Structure 1
Amino acid sequence: MAVDTHPFAGEALGAFVATSRWDRIEPPLRHEATRSLLNFFGGALGVAQDPAVETAARVMAPFSGSQRVTVIGRRERLDAMAASFVNTIAANLLDYDDTHLETVIHPTAAVAPPLLALAELHNLSGAEVLHAFILGAEAECRIGAAVSPGHYDRGWHITSTTGVFGAAAGCARLLGLDARQAWHALGIAASQSAGLVENLPSAAKNVGMGNAARNGLLAALMARDGYEAAPAAIEGPLGWARAMGDVPDLSRILDGLGTRWEFARNTYKPYPAGIVFHAVIDAALELRARVPAGAVESVLVEGDQLLLDRGDRPVRTERDSRVSIHHCVAVAMLRGAAGVAEFAAAAVHDRATSALRDKVRARLDTSLPRGAARVTVWDTAGQTHVALVMEARGSAARPLTDGELEAKFRDNASLGGRADKADGWVDAIWALQETADLAPLLRSMGATD
């Protein structure tokens, strides 16, 4: 009889988190982590005054403890858990964050905020935070890959449900947990995992994200002070993965751990919309050069099941528009752009946009992979025009450059009213690896007026 010699998933990840060495992290991976944080800070700055962020900060403030840290782009300071909650909501609010395409996880939003809170509290270096972030994001993506695609298909919002593991792992590293404590932190996190795809077109989605960040920090703190979890809390018969509907593929967690990096596959969005709509936008922008919007008779968008499941929906609000096939086509063809303004209320309720949305229909094409789309336009002269995009702008095959990420950061900082600080912040973020104490930079990102 064969004996299963595989370690528990949490055991392997706990050892990975506790024993990893910064000098073994290759420069390209360090650079990717820095790119991720540049993207994260910009996204949070851009919506610092959004009503959803305002509400989250107001609700959390009365319960906040005495040791307070920065809320990005805002005057008030909150305790580490509350600030993690609010900063995660901000980072994810515009659907402008990074993406691990296979799992559709946005790795940074729930993992970075609690690490930054700990860095500000304890005057930690940029290298320490970058290292912890890489480890947390890797744990998050590997656990997500082990249950994909069934987990997300069942309605679990995988960024929230796995984000809690990434936050716990990263915080375990910064708090100096040993391998066994880090294992327990991941097991405690397994009992705090939640988030629903049904809530994607509402700010309730972002509550799940915020909870992932603060619950991951809580899990690491509890483990540090002696709390324990079941050995197989992630993959056991009644553990996280199976309770949420899947028998996990443990090879996706264990194989190549520490030598092959899932996080290295991270990508960045050029458009503030769901990642699966980016190929639709690219195709529509291409077709706009051939067909004036006023000459469009009808539009067919074809893609995989995930594209249809997420985006074949009526559009009533700004949040609907960011996960709408129909709106993405309409603004790209009408305006020749798909930036923040194109998903704002004025664009959503514009009559011409609404009329063009009504001309768009969607259809499944099982031959197209995730992230691809074909858009066909029939014009009023009876001509047919087709654009097929297999790899969207911003994908691993067509990545955003450092310069494009800088421009995106500056645009978002301007949206948040902080354009005057953007250049200095860009330089400081690129220099994170050499920064001895992150606290001054983080404090500079709070509003002072």
Structure 2
Amino acid sequence: MSDPSQDTSAPQAPSPPGTRSAGIKRFATARSRSLLGALFLMATSAIGPGFITQTATFTQQLGAAFAFGILVSVLIDLAVQMNVWRMITLTGKRASVLANDALPGSGYVLAVLIVLGGLVFNIGNTAGAGLGMNALFGIDPRLGGAISAAIAIAIFLAKRAGVLVDRVVIVAGLVMIVLTVTVMILSDPPVGDALRQTVLPDTVSFATITTIVGGTVGGYITYAGAHKLLDSGTAGPEHIAEVNRAAVSGIIVTGIMRYVLFLAILGVVASGVVLDVTGNPAGDAFGAAAGETGLRLFGAVFWIAAITSVIGAAYTSVSFLPVFSARITGRVADRWTVGFIVVSLAAYLSIGTPPATLLVFVGGLNGLILPIGLTLFMYIGWFRGSLLGTARYPRWLLVVGTLATVVTWYMAVNAVGPIFDLLSV
């Protein structure tokens, strides 16, 4: 995606001091917006319709014990994002290019996995957008998915697509948080039990944790914010402090949002309401908490989560394609992104899997892809440190990242069967 903050067209004559000050102020504003855009692109991608549906499904199955899964997902997020964002912005290279430099050919494999995983994810995101419009306006989910895809395409075809994406994801993310907090208050959840089981769960499910981790940091989500930062010119060791702040802030925002959403649904489940996990479990929960108004609130939250995730999945997946052809940049990349959205929509309209089941499955699939990319980045950190520049890379960060990699491999191996069993539901 082209970004206006990177305009290098024609040389300019020296500007008067006042003009120069105004230019510096505009640059600082653009940089702040880009950092917030990267933060919220990661956050809204991590709290997409898949995560919302997964939360409703697993809260129905596990009750307050699902809080432990959320805690594990946040800890893994921290380990993953702080390493990946740091390495990508240190080198100024996208993940696939950096992987190729470290281990020739591995970047192509990573790109194929991310693009395929992102496509499957985006089919689910499109389905989620359709469900959101169905809850909001009562229209057919397939028509809602088509309308939402058209809106996403219009955003990418806009002349200043980079600025528009930043603004859309920031405003949409804030609205989503406010609406979900409102439903949480109305549902009156058992907070004490939830806090206890956050650290001492009554039951642990590897398939559940793998699915929720995959839905929040798996596949393309790992790289969404970091690639957005590169497009805004935030690269090099001089920007590491602000990159770390953006990564940690994004994870804090997503962690709070995940827990608030979980509590909103837990309050409904704890009251004895049984959610239809093959239909629209999150919609059932919001409706039970606040009646017709709750259903409309769900529609708004779900649609916002879906449309921002459609944008994030399409943008990030296409950002891996330049490793195959240097021509896929700027407006050419925007056209590829439009094509990616169209293919996702066509696939959604042609498949028969219920949207809710699909949204749970895609999180699990990307949870299986996650450890592959992590392994490549840990290899770079431990054995190809020269690629990261002259600054010493924090050893503790590599240790934490390696532990997260081992955990995600263990969970993926144990969860692969149950995850693919979802498609037979």
Q: Same fold (TM over 0.5)?
A: no
Higher RCO (C-alpha 8 Å, min separation 6)? 2
Name whichever structure is richer in helix by fraction. Answer: 2
Q: TM-score, normalised by structure 1?
A: 0.28
